[in-house]
Structure 1
Amino acid sequence: MAPEIIGIIGFASLLVLIALRVPVAVAMGIVGVVGGYIVNGPESVSFILGATPFETVFPYGLSVVPLFVLMGAFATHAGLSGSLYKAIYACIGHFRGGLAIATVGACGAFGAICGSSLATAATMTKVSMPEMKSRGYDEGLASAAVAAGGTLGVLIPPSIIIIIYAILTEASIGKLFAAALVPGGLAVVLYMLAISLRTRLNPALGPRGERRTGASAALHYSASGISRCCSRW
């Protein structure tokens, strides 16, 4: 059978497996192994299955990934995420929708620590959602603030995704980090402006908070979070 015909059959089989709700990665693996066995024989398939997984996870550059996750875990257990949230809220919480705006700002700051969107969204959900619900914020706005802020974890340097992309494409990690600063900062500002605009058009979405002494309170919460982190770890 010609390789072109085998390729067409394999592509059709892949679509069938996906339609049967087989996970995409598993479906692609099955089609790839069977197709490789038919085209190149068992020896080639055995070599690829033995060598490719090791070569994929072996690069030294990928060692930063668990270190970023570990750093995020340290920050979470030390309470640094809560301190960042309170520090930003102390500065802008008295504005309408300030709690949701502070959530986006804290997501950006925490994303710069752990480099993961999932970790950022999960952590800030635990910290900010109870506060916004207790203060009468609309659940849609609160959820959107956390979801939008969570995306900043992979954009604001240092980012795990940027590092993996740089390794795969052999690009400069430093240049990619520098290039991500502008869109990352711009995303934070635009998310905050969007929340501010929505709450001004519909004040019921997010009430104002109490005014605090912004600079002193922010410094207090930041210092307490850093000291708590150092004392625990």
Structure 2
Amino acid sequence: MIAVSIIILLFLLLAIGVPVGFSMGVAGAVGLVAVGNLDVMLSVLQTSPLSTVSSYELITIPMFLLMAELVLLSGIADDLFTVTAAWIGHVRGGLGMATALSGAGFGAICGTSTASAATLSATSLPAMVKQGYDPRMAAGVVAVSGTLAMLIPPSVALVVYGLLADVSVGKLLVGGIIPGIIVTFTIMATVWVLAVLYPKEAPCSPRVSLLDRLRLLRGVGPMLLLMIMVTGVIYSGIATPTEASALGATGALGIVIWRRRCSWTNVRQAARRAAQGTCMIAMILLGAQLFGYFFTLTHVTQDLVTWVAELPTSRWVIMVVLLSMYIVLGAFMDQIAILVLTVPVVVPMIVKLGFDPIWFGVIKIVIAEVGMITPPIGLNCYVVSRYANRPVGEVFRGTIPHIVAHFLAIAVFLLFPQTILWLPSLMR
């Protein structure tokens, strides 16, 4: 009964607009007093902040956020769309496909989906509308392409999952590579089908000469180098994710200097935004730890794991129910909030059922992508609506075909786990 009351308190705090980290911290602290006493709560508060921020892998988050801010500052995303549009813009639905490729490429050097969606809104969406694309289709592909940053390394969401689930962040990041490619081609295939069905809504662009296309490739060279610096060193075992994140931030700063966009004011603002994002995530993790202590004392997690393991049904039925729950939650809650609320409870259950937590983590992030474009809270749709000055309802309608296509991709990952686990199994 105490556990139910504290969960109700948590959702009440979230409902009235209290930030996620503070909501979980307050609810957890009240719960600790209820199941123990004031001394128990104070002793946990004395140790939790240090144990939360002293995690070595937590340094990955500010470095990846700083890298994303510096990449945005460099303006390399503009060149990325220009190059992809030049190579495939002349085919039916080519600019939409170029947007998906740009989203994937930008996601490989930027770990936050909202930043990716905002950048694509300012670059690819105006180009598609100018070319004669239906604004609804254009907005939909921009919103869904922005979500690729959640999956393709470096992904802040995967890092947060790894910290909460206590699994290898490096294997998680590498595990997102092949699914990221599959989801990217799923978005491109969806655009192509829509363009074939409704050719007037996705006209072809003029063909660019081969010489000009080759010349434009020079603009994406720094981006490819940065991708190798980050993902390549993690996969090869040369560096840990933490070391790779610092290397990536340094490389992004080098690109800013090389493109002559470096000034003290710009770098300071980028560092401040990265610090703000880091503090927010650290507060969420601290709140999650307090709430987790409360759950541990009440034995809710252990009892739930035992109960689920003894259910007279297939483990796959339980998995489908869990994923369906995540889809519903994703339509109403922030994705980081969902991670910190559910991972400490769900992952032990997943392991007890015999599933790989790395495989589950990647699938969870793919479902989080769906949540980022699902009404009524789909954050990426609001970002696109704001930056592109389009009605948010129009953006949501444009994402519906991509939501359906994402479900097909999720089915592939469920049926063929090696699409996720193969690359991590080869890591040193």
- Normalised to the residue count of structure 2, the TM-score between the two structures is 0.49
1:54-203 matches, within 5 Å, as 54-203=50-199
Q: CA deviation at 1:205?
A: 1.5
In structure 2, how many angstroms separate the alpha carbons of the residues matched to 1:71 and 1:13? Answer: 37
Gap change, CA 1:35 and 1:76, over 3 Å in 2: closer
Contact 2:125-2:139 within 8 A present in 1 as well? yes
What is the one-letter code of the residue matched to 1:186? I
In structure 2, how many angstroms separate the alpha carbons of the residues matched to 1:67 and 1:219? Answer: 33
Aligned identity (percent) is 33
Determine which of 259, 265, 280 is the counterpart of 1:231.
Answer: 259
- Normalised to the residue count of structure 1, the TM-score between the two structures is 0.85
In structure 2, how many angstroms separate the alpha carbons of the residues matched to 1:126 and 1:203? Answer: 24
99-108 or 63-72, which moves further after superposition?
A: 63-72
1:54 aligned counterpart, secondary structure: helix
Alignment RMSD, CA only?
2.4
1:120 aligned counterpart, secondary structure: helix
Q: How many residues align?
A: 227
Which residue of 2 is the match for residue 217 of structure 1?
A: 212
2:205 aligned counterpart, secondary structure: coil
Gap change, CA 1:13 and 1:73, over 3 Å in 2: closer
2:16 aligned counterpart, secondary structure: coil
Contact 1:79-1:225 within 8 A present in 2 as well? no
26-35 or 140-149, which moves further after superposition?
A: 26-35
Q: CA deviation at 1:91?
A: 0.4
Larger gyration radius, structure 1 or structure 2: 1
Contact 1:93-1:209 within 8 A present in 2 as well? yes
2:152 aligned counterpart, secondary structure: coil
What is the one-letter code of the residue matched to 1:231? R
In structure 1, how many angstroms separate the alpha carbons of the residues matched to 2:188 and 2:61? Answer: 29
Contact 1:104-1:191 within 8 A present in 2 as well? yes
After superposition, the C-alpha distances for 1:154-210 in whole angstroms (9 at most, x for unaligned) are: 111222222232333332333323322211101111110110110110012211100
Contact 2:80-2:219 within 8 A present in 1 as well? no
In structure 2, how many angstroms separate the alpha carbons of the residues matched to 1:69 and 1:14? Answer: 28
Contact 2:14-2:23 within 8 A present in 1 as well? no
In structure 2, how many angstroms separate the alpha carbons of the residues matched to 1:42 and 1:133? Answer: 60
Alignment gaps of 5+ in structure 1? none
Which residue of 1 is the match for residue 366 of structure 2?
A: none
Contact 1:84-1:221 within 8 A present in 2 as well? no
Alignment gaps of 5+ in structure 2? 223-254, 263-428
1:210 aligned counterpart, secondary structure: coil
Contact 1:88-1:218 within 8 A present in 2 as well? no
Gap change, CA 1:56 and 1:78, over 3 Å in 2: same
Gap change, CA 1:199 and 1:160, over 3 Å in 2: same
Q: CA deviation at 1:140?
A: 1.3
What is the one-letter code of the residue matched to 2:93? G
Q: CA deviation at 1:7?
A: 3.2
What is the one-letter code of the residue matched to 2:66? L
Which residue of 1 is the match for residue 248 of structure 2?
A: none
Contact 1:33-1:45 within 8 A present in 2 as well? yes
After superposition, the C-alpha distances for 1:95-151 in whole angstroms (9 at most, x for unaligned) are: 122111111100000000012212211111111122122222111111111111111
Gap change, CA 1:169 and 1:10, over 3 Å in 2: closer
1:77 aligned counterpart, secondary structure: helix
1:6-85 matches, within 5 Å, as 6-14=2-10, 17=12, 21-23=16-18, 25=20, 26-85=22-81
